[in-house]
Amino acid sequence: MPLFAKTFRPRKTPPRKSASLSNLHTLDRPTREIELGLKYGAPTMTIGGQSLKFKEGRWITESDGNVPGKGTQRLKRNLQLAEENNLLKLKIDVLLDMLSETTAESIQMERELEDMKSPHRTF
């Protein structure tokens, strides 16, 4: 008796169910727009507690577009402090260079003074 006597015949697949079980496609257009939210407003977002709205190609605060928000003022202040910090670092570098130069001249003068005081001076 052969082991594989029957030929392979797969079963027929059952018919598929309806793709959408939702009845929203039967609604009229205005009702569908309300249900699906197809009426878009201007995009808005909240960053750091401040609400921004995209209007006429620019992000503006929702309270008033002409008044800079606290975040903008803080950013300007940070930039001002960064510039001041860079200036102070530059001043420190200049002062360290001046100190190094003065120290080198002082050491050189001390060596010359020691050479003049030494009895084994050669001419």
pTM of the model: 0.40
Q: Is 8 exposed, middle or buried (0-12, 13-18, 19+ CB in 10 A)?
A: exposed
Q: Please report the pLDDT score of residue 38 as a whole number.
A: 66
Q: Please report the pLDDT score of residue 20 as a whole number.
A: 65
The predicted-structure confidence for 11-60, as pLDDT tens digits, reads as follows 888 887 766 667 766 777 777 777 777 666 778 888 877 888 888 888 88
Q: With contact defined as beta carbons under 8 Å apart, do 54 and 40 qualify?
A: no
What does the CA dihedral 118, 109, 122, 119 come to, rounded to 10 degrees?
Answer: -10
Q: Which of 64, 35, 31 is nearest to 50 (CA)?
A: 64
Which amino acid appears at position 58 of this protein?
A: R
pLDDT above 50 (res 100): yes
Which residues, other chains included, contact 70 with Cβ-Cβ below 8 Å and sequence gap of 6+? 50
Q: Which of 101, 107, 47 is nearest to 75 (CA)?
A: 47
The predicted-structure confidence for 54-87, as pLDDT tens digits, reads as follows 888 888 887 654 555 667 788 899 999 999 999 9
